[in-house]
Amino acid sequence: MNIKAVPVTEKWTEYTLTNEAGMAVSILDFGGIITKILVPDRDENLENVVLGYRNIRDYQQNPNYFGALIGRVAGRIQGASFELSGNTHVLESNEGANHLHSGSAGFHQALWQVAPFQTENSLGLTLSHKSPDGEGGYPGNVTVSVTYTLTNDNRLLIDYEASSDKTTPLALTNHSYFNLSGDLKSTVETQAAAIDSSQFVELDDQLIPTGNLIPVAETPFDFRAGRMLGEGFNEKFAQNKLAGGGYDHYFLFDNTREQKALLQDSASGRQMAVETDQPGMVMYTGNGLDDSLLLNEGKSRKYLGVCFETQGSPASLHHANMPDIVLQAGEVYKTQTVFAFSVMK
């Protein structure tokens, strides 16, 4: 096991965690961005399973949020505003009239303080950041830490902890795009996903949640028994069409399984299980990607990766039936998501 720190620009450092099995995770202090994850296939070939830029400086803009920590609030906020404790808070309109992934002042643009650590069976980084009252339009001085831990059994744990001196919305997530084919050999069309969810949140034509919960039964959104992602890469079903011929939807977990989601690639034999204490997740299948970006293994393209954005729902700021994201002043926000990699049996 080892931790390697390499300066990659005048201001940024990339840290690479390598466990005893050879799995490696590379993380930037800028944006807390996961740039690479190397995991073995069934023949023990180590290959990258996330989307990342070939030129490290391209993360400065990063319009697709590759690998980034998202906060204060991940997702879209309708009308770029919300009411809290009788006050209206106006945010940056950075996607039409709406607010996406906390705008230009989001955590994906922060330079985080990094503290490496190592134990007998794991190693990792604790990233720390302070967001001042009013930053991005959000109330409260927020202190946040995110800990990435890589274990020797190929589990990547992400622990989020935060507090605020004012009541404020908070919904943190990681925005990695996964592709288990290895080194982007194919799109995720033929990769199978299973999700512990019997309902998802309807979107309008601006991809804003309407507040309506739709049963997944007899739709391309029924992943309870597992299905190919490509079955929803079409414009035959209205909700897939709205999202650009794929998925960009919040799934509410049923909490009937420890694994809330599972991604499998039969060609490589890789699989990734998602465990979390969050109430749901947005699954996004890279519907907006085109061939304009140069990634580590070649040009980007539509459906090249899938995001599992475990989080509460920002729609709760406008719809009472969504999982709440309001953190009370003085309380501690604490949550964990685990990405567990293994080989299919």
| Residue 12: strand, helix, or coil | coil
Q: Tell me if 295 sits within 8 A of 52, measured CB to CB.
A: yes
d(CA 155, CA 217): 32
Q: Which of 99, 129, 175, 249 is catalytic?
A: 175
* Best CA proximity match to 65, nearest among 260, 265, 284: 284
Q: Tell me if 174 sits within 8 A of 70, measured CB to CB.
A: yes
Q: Tell me if 33 sits within 8 A of 27, measured CB to CB.
A: yes
Query: Any residues with CB less than 8 A from the CB of 238 and at least 6 apart, and which?
Result: none
Distance of CA 179 to the CA centre of its chain: 13
What are 342's two structure tokens? Answer: 């293994």
DSSP secondary structure code for residue 242 in this structure? H
**280 φ, ψ to 5°?**
-175, -170
Strand 280-284 relative to strand 307-311, pairing: antiparallel
Q: Tell me if 274 sits within 8 A of 337, measured CB to CB.
A: yes
* Best CA proximity match to 146, nearest among 135, 162, 134: 162
Q: Which of 309, 318, 319, 331 is catalytic?
A: 309
Per the annotation, the verdict on 175 as an active-site residue is yes
Distances (CA, A) of 50 to 94, 132, 241, 308: 25, 32, 25, 12
d(CA 141, CA 128): 14
Query: Any residues with CB less than 8 A from the CB of 148 and at least 6 apart, and which?
Result: 17, 25, 27, 32, 34, 124, 125, 127, 156, 157, 158
d(CA 280, CA 313): 8
Per the annotation, the verdict on 258 as an active-site residue is no
Q: Among all residues, which ones are annotated catalytic?
A: 175, 309
